[in-house]
Amino acid sequence: MNIQFLQLQTHGDDRGSLISLEEGKNIPFQVKRVYYMFDTGQGVKRGYHAHKSLKQVAVAVRGSCRFLLDDGKEKIDFRLDNPCQGLLIESFVWRVMYDFSPDCVLMVLADSLYDEADYVRDYATFQSMVNP
């Protein structure tokens, strides 16, 4: 699957912890956009799309949520719950985010500006694109 877990180096001392995200260093692309989801309601599921070319890194900077990822061949389901861990998702991976903890802040860095034309929002269309 077109994903990777990134271990983000923590600069910790007796004051606490700090993580820096830098393009070309621990973020393997040019960062054009950052967005974050928070105050996600109980039972809400988000996503239900793939991207044609977008690369993204997601970090649960606070709290946790589950990811269900699907590339048309395999599905993986896991919890993202560590601010020291980044999840790199590249193109043509269908994603659903769910089971957000009430305190979850899910931050996403992206290599492009928001572009609705890059989205595949219909699962049958996604399937036909990855398994032609």
Residue with tokens 């398994």: 131
Residue 51: active-site member: no
Q: How far, in Å, are 36, 44, 109 from residue 51 at the CA level?
A: 18, 21, 14
Closer of 17 and 114 to ligand TYD (Cβ):
114
How many helices (H) and strands (E) in the chain? 1, 12
Instruction: Please give the Cα distance from 65 to 40 (Å, whole number).
Output: 10
Helical spans, DSSP H, in the chain:
123-130
Closer of 18 and 34 to ligand TYD (Cβ):
34
Residue 73 beta carbon to ligand TYD: minimum distance, rounded to whole angstroms: 22
Residue 11 beta carbon to ligand TYD: minimum distance, rounded to whole angstroms: 28
Q: How many other C-beta atoms can be found within 10 angstroms of the C-beta atom of residue 80? A: 20
Q: Which residues bind ligand TYD (CB under 6 A)?
A: 33, 35, 46-47, 49, 114
Q: Point out the catalytic residue in the list 49, 66, 96, 118.
A: 49
Closer of 98 and 130 to ligand TYD (Cβ):
98
Residue 26 beta carbon to ligand TYD: minimum distance, rounded to whole angstroms: 21
Q: Which residues are catalytic?
A: 49
